[in-house]
Structure 1
Amino acid sequence: MAGVLILYTTLIFAYMRLIPLCSLIVCLFSACEKDINIDIQSSDPQLVVEGVIENDSYPQVILSRSLSYFSSIDSAIIENTYVHNAVVTVSNGSQTMELSEQRLTLPQGATYYAYRPDLRRPGVFFKGKVAGKYTLKIQTDNKTYESVTTIPLTGMELDSIWCTRVLLNNGDTTKIRLWARITDDPDNSGYVRYFTKRNSEPTYPGITSVIDDRIVNGTTFEIPLDAGIDRSQKPDPDTYYALFSLGDTITLKFCNIDKPTWDFWRTVDYAFNTSGNPFSSPTRILGNIPGALGYWGGYSAKYKKIFIRK
């Protein structure tokens, strides 16, 4: 999933640079029929970071270079976007752990590069802890990038999950919608990102994967949760219903996150969901790594599983 995500994030940033230009072109062509030649400037590649640290897990950081919107995309080009030989460290305030570049393989067979602790070597190693604060430092191409994230102690509590049957217009009665009951802490801001896993498939984020407590602060509420999707594939609106099926085993990964992580995924979700819509408002992806694109995020993850009988 990580290798796919970094490709998706890279394409989103390229797409966002094009949105204002597309809006301008639509306005110009609607106003007159005069031939217009536009010189599209190509921007220099930027560092793209996808860094994650979860409770009870070691951190992982993927580094790549952004692509031009007009770049052709294939496996060789993606392979060349990865940033190698960077110096990457994570500090918990009292210890600093160095991450090593590793070549990893996804279940689907694709490979990607990530910086992770090399447990075969002597050194300092620690996993993420709830209420921890973590500083990521990246040194590459004579530049240094830093960002801080937290793994929240409190926020929203996942009470229970259940499913209801959905009747589709085509008469299909085998589809199921997932629901969750959540209690929000009235004394702390609540930000959540969730993922679902269907049977033995990979774990994917929902099409709109983040929740906040602006409306539900301090309450217990019920909310439907979409089935997660592979974001390297744009869902077909005629066949995607965000539903599960009878006989599925569903695993929900429910993560409290801090606001910068929520801001990043809120804006990425919006950009993904409005991609190709010329009437949508331009969206700026809100990363939390000064000088680079992307994010460094802490996740306080909990899991619940449910089996839906046929």
Structure 2
Amino acid sequence: MASPLVAGEPPINFAAHQIRAGNIAGARDDFEQMLAVLIGAIYPGARAIAANPGDWGIDILLGELSGLVVIWQSKYFWPSVTRSAQAQIRDSFDSALASAERNGYQVAQWVLCVPSSMDPATARWWDRWRARRQRETGVVIELWHEATLREMLLRPDAAHVRRHYYDPYFGGPAPRSTPRSAPRSALRDVDDGTAADLERALFVRQLRAAGHEEVGSAKREFFNAELLVREILDKRVPAEVSALSEADGVAYGIWEARFNAVAQAHPADPLLPGLHAAVVGEIRESGAFPVGLRAGPVHHCGLMHRIVQDGRAGWVRHWRRIAEESPV
């Protein structure tokens, strides 16, 4: 759960890095730059290390490269840390230790910094991997996830970092107070890396099971809905949280009615032809979604994909079996 906000402070939404940079690749650099300033504010003497061409597995460093050092590794995993991130985490840690051995210094502590949280399976993997690698190497391994970073950004020493990166009046991505009738910020495209990660998502597996060859628009809808949901949950404006819950109910109700109709019309066909098209078509045309959500058809369709991702719906008759067999 996000840390409580100081009274009068704007919410800290790590999607701001994408909004400011315009894409995930730029968000990675922007997030790393924020970390360098934040860590420098809390740990005087910490400094960023530039890649030229490699960075020795170091993003931010505290200490001297002739003795003991603390290393912070920045990874902009979004919207959550999933199984696909595990190899990158292992490789980053191994690279940092290999560079230390080659260049004559010792890593005392290694800190992974991410702007999101781990899903259950990845959290379990992290706990086991961290304990094993600490025993094997003697290096203290820590995780700074979104809640940890928010807590640090709310410290008095980090006020200038928070203002610069997350306060709309000092360079943040959107006005602090937006008219309730105004739309959300511009939709975001999905970069190649995120698209590849989403290929393993349950909502995509359900679409593939239904025979869909092209799923690019579904990934974009899901991605933008994730940004919308995180923004609402970060801000915790009661009216918007209520509107989000209502929108979820509207989308689910449309799916359930269409699923039952198609299942009755095609009792022998497990693929339930036309189900997805009927559901998203009705969602796009529906006027039942709450105005307070300030979202359009792409977000509405994305909310439906989130329902599928949560294992509450699907696009074939045996959707429950696919959900049960999907990795957590």
TM (norm. structure 2) is 0.23
Q: Where is the strand percentage greater, Structure 1 or Structure 2?
A: 1
Q: Which has the higher contact order (CA 8 A, sep 6+)?
A: 1
Normalized per residue, the structure richer in helix is 2
TM-score by length of 1: 0.23
Larger Cα Rg: Structure 1 or Structure 2? 2
